[in-house]
């Protein structure tokens, strides 16, 4: 890994962690997109999980006073159920599938959620959220929008939303790393060095984003989340279609 590439990865990790620190997602989608250019798909998902564990874990820690443990427990049950299912079918990802599915995920944030009445504070909805988002995270690497649709229409404070989402995403990424551990072991020593360097950078970016989050209004938070993930998803989708063609 060249010095330029190493520096580029460091900047990318900071900016994506900053973005995730503000909106609770989006940054992870960009980071995975960059990693897919550098390493094989399974390895990219594993590395993405390692970095995002730090980013989401630190974000959950910074917002721990607002964490809803009841919802988190139900989300986790759904996550583990999805992981067991994917292990049983011996799932392995492909670049085209990852690109197209991630590209389509932002559609979820434009659904008529008021009519669907999805609400993570309801046990069945929380379990479904954990199952769906966990399956997507392991299957294609990211799942932010699938989590967001269960939180964006709730009556929870934005800080509670970020804290609870960050906690389940930390657990999701940890599960994802375990699922692709063999792929992670194919990394070179330079790759592991880059990850080690990214850890404090991810925490710094997350902390900076958390400060910005507390200065936003709930309305701005929800509006910006939609447009940002939609733009990122469009890039993924076009990339997937070009590969398919």
Distance CA 17, CA 114 (A): 30
Q: What secondary structure does DSSP assign to 45-71, as a single string?
A: HHHHHHHHHHHHHHHHHHTGGG--HHH
**Taking 90 as the threshold, does the pLDDT of residue 128 lie above it?**
yes
Contact between residue 150 and residue 126 where contact means Cβ atoms under 8 Å apart:
yes
Contact between residue 159 and residue 213 where contact means Cβ atoms under 8 Å apart:
yes
What is the pLDDT of the chain when averaged over all its residues?
Answer: 82
Distance CA 150, CA 165 (A): 10
**Taking 80 as the threshold, does the pLDDT of residue 160 lie above it?**
yes
Question: Closest Cα partner for 244 from 118, 27, 97?
Answer: 97
pTM of the entire structure? 0.78
Q: What pLDDT, on a 0 to 100 scale, did the predictor assign at position 88? A: 97
Q: At what angle do helices 27-35 and 41-62 cross, to 10 degrees?
A: 150
Distance CA 163, CA 166 (A): 5
pLDDT, tens only, 23-59: 666 677 777 888 888 888 999 899 889 888 887 888 7
Go through the chain and tell me how many residues it has.
245
Mean pLDDT of all residues in 215-242: 77
Distance CA 117, CA 125 (A): 10
């Amino acid at each position: 890994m060249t010095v330029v590439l190493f520096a580029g990865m460091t900047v990318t990790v900071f900016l994506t962690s900053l973005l995730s620190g503000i909106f609770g997602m989006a940054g992870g989608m960009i980071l995975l997109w960059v990693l897919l250019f550098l390493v094989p798909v399974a390895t990219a998902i594993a590395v993405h999980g390692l970095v995002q564990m730090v980013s989401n874990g630190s974000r959950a820690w910074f917002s721990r006073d607002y964490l809803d443990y009841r919802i988190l427990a139900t989300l986790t049950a759904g996550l583990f159920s999805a992981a067991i299912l994917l292990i049983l079918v011996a799932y392995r990802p492909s670049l085209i599938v990852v690109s197209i599915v991630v590209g389509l995920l932002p559609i979820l944030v434009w659904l008529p959620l008021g009519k669907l009445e999805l609400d993570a504070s309801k046990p069945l909805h929380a379990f479904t959220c954990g199952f769906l988002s966990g399956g997507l995270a392991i299957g294609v690497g990211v799942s932010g929008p699938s989590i967001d649709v269960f939180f964006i229409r709730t009556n929870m404070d934005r800080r509670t939303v970020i804290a609870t989402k960050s906690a389940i995403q930390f657990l999701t990424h940890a599960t994802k790393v375990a699922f692709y551990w063999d792929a992670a072991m194919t990394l070179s020593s330079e790759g592991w060095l880059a990850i080690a360097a990214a850890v404090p950078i991810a925490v710094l970016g997350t902390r900076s984003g958390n400060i910005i989050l507390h200065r936003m209004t709930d309305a701005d938070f929800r509006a910006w989340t939609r447009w940002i993930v939609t733009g990122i998803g469009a890039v993924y989708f076009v990339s997937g279609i070009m590969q398919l063609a």
